[in-house]
């Protein structure tokens, strides 16, 4: 409150005038703030873009531009590709399916309009992983969700997209569906740690997606009316060579913190890049630069139908970190972007890129763009050993700790695993290890055999050259520096 005295030298009256001026100006500029900052013509929509600065059309164009830049800069999709979109029914997967569909539509129009028709149109398939065998979801709810998914995919304009509805227990490839479901429950119930159980289910989901790379190789399709899984044999040339996930900035920010908490800092750069080609079918993340709030707003403005499943609360580290990041985002809307941008400074691995294309069907501009944005050999880390469960690259410290497991009977799976999986997923009681080993899926055991053979050779080389071992990357320097700070026994 001002004293309004000519003898007062505190300038409080002048400060009051300065404080009242912005209030008066805000009311006069309210009309300017409601106009889209991009087109300067239409009214901005609340929640569209940062602080609601865009109109509906400009917001849509901006979000699609992020998607298209990620796809073209990293050569995620080329005309000769056959793309499989992992669809969960949530806003992220719904938006990525819509954008992939629009991109395919444009390619089809260009193909029809061209005279020579030299560039083919990439194919698109959609897959949904049915996890009702483990989550206690009523069968009527699952049936309704599958009907909605079929309706969403079928209502997309041509070109047509093949839908694969796959049970997650199909990764066991047993004789009957009941045996597969029982094996899945037995495996997950053998993991006592809540976080480890969630992570194991995530690993099985990715293994199922990789196994169902196509309807080829014993594909599985669900008949909604009879609820029977029919095994089909399809030609291998129909296989998919790209797996598209709808991971966005918000999900990746949560993963950055959870991986750090779990001690997976070394392998973290492998999971947060646009491209992950360590798998048989490379995984691409075209929505890496999009926030979950933007995707939710897009579905609302475009009227895209999404599905919600009540799988219960997440009681492990993953759920705690998700709630923590959500609170951070409410305090500061740029927190998620800051987390991902900071983690993006870590050196990626050599498999975080699509191999350079020499296909004549790929436009020259796409090849030049890929050569420009692709990782250079001196900008990446080379890794030859992987964990058989989470398939994360192993550090030299992980390899050095494997020497204690070489004499173990179950070395193929236990000794080849990373420290995080050994701590959270594997049983603590050695007597339970044989039972756990017996219920693992066969594809995972085969991968473990390959990983352990490679890890043994690297371990021998590590033991032979351990005294002369030099760090090969900034991350190695950080690991060695942290190791030197540990107390000596």
Q: What is the pLDDT of residues 120-148, one digit of tens each?
A: 889 999 999 998 888 877 788 888 999 99
For residue 293, count other CB atoms closer than 10 A to its CB. 18
Task: Give the pLDDT band of residue 388 (cuts 50, 70, 90).
Answer: confident
- Section 204-227 average pLDDT: 54
Q: What pLDDT does 360 receive?
A: 60
Residue 58 to residue 65: CA distance in whole angstroms: 10
Q: Is the pLDDT of residue 480 over 50?
A: no
Q: What pLDDT does 36 receive?
A: 87
- The mean pLDDT value of the chain amounts to 77
The two three-digit tokens of residue 286, written as one number: 């075209």
The two three-digit tokens of residue 126, written as one number: 């959609």
Q: Cα 344 to the chain's mean position, in Å?
A: 14
Q: Is the pLDDT of residue 271 over 60?
A: yes
3-state secondary structure of 134: coil
Pairing of strands 123-130, 162-167: parallel
Q: pLDDT > 70: what percent of the chain?
A: 69
Sign of CA dihedral 104, 67, 314, 255: positive
Residue 98 to residue 95: CA distance in whole angstroms: 5
């Amino acid at each position: 409150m001002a004293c309004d005295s000519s003898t007062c030298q505190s300038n409080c009256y002048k400060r009051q005038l300065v404080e009242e001026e912005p209030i008066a100006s805000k009311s006069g500029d309210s009309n300017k703030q409601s106009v889209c900052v991009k087109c300067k013509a239409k009214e901005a929509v609340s929640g569209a873009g940062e602080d609601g600065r865009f109109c509906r059309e400009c917001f849509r164009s901006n979000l699609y531009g992020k998607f298209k830049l990620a796809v073209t800069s990293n050569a995620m999709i080329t005309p000769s590709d056959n793309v499989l979109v992992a669809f969960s029914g949530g806003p992220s997967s719904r938006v990525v399916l819509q954008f992939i569909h629009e991109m395919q539509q444009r390619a089809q129009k260009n193909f029809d309009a061209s005279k020579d028709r030299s560039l083919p149109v990439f194919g698109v398939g959609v897959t949904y992983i049915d996890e009702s065998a483990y989550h206690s979801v009523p069968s009527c709810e699952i049936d309704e969700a599958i009907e909605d998914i079929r309706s969403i995919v079928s209502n997309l304009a041509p070109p047509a997209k093949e839908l694969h509805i796959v049970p997650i227990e199909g990764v066991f490839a047993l004789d009957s569906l009941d045996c597969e479901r029982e094996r899945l429950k037995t495996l997950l119930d053998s993991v006592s740690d809540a976080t480890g159980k969630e992570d194991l289910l995530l690993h099985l989901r990715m293994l199922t997606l990789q196994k169902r790379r196509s309807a080829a190789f014993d594909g599985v399709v669900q008949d909604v009316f009879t609820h029977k899984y029919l095994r089909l044999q399809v030609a291998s040339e129909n296989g998919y060579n790209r797996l598209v996930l709808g991971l966005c900035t918000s999900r990746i920010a949560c993963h950055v913190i959870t991986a750090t908490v779990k001690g997976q800092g070394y392998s973290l750069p492998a999971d947060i890049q646009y491209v992950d080609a360590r798998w048989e079918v490379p995984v691409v993340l075209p929505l890496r630069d999009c926030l979950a709030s933007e995707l939710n707003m897009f579905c609302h403005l475009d009227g895209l139908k999404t599905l919600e499943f009540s799988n219960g609360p997440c009681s492990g580290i993953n759920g705690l970190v998700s709630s923590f990041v959500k609170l951070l985002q409410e305090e500061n809307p740029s927190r998620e972007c800051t987390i991902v941008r900071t983690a993006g400074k870590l050196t990626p691995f050599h498999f975080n890129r699509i191999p350079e294309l020499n296909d004549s069907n790929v436009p020259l501009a796409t090849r030049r763009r890929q050569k420009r944005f692709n990782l250079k050999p001196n900008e990446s880390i080379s890794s030859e050993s992987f964990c058989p469960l989470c398939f994360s690259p192993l550090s030299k410290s992980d390899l050095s700790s494997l020497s204690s497991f070489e004499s173990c009977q179950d070395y193929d799976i236990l000794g080849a695993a990373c420290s995080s999986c050994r701590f959270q997923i594997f049983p603590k009681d050695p007597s339970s290890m044989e039972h756990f080993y017996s219920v693992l899926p066969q594809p995972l055991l085969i991968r473990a055999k390959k990983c352990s053979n490679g890890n043994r050779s690297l371990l021998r080389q590590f033991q032979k050259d351990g005294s002369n071992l030099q760090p090969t990357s900034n991350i190695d320097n950080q690991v060695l520096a942290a190791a030197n700070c540990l107390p000596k026994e």
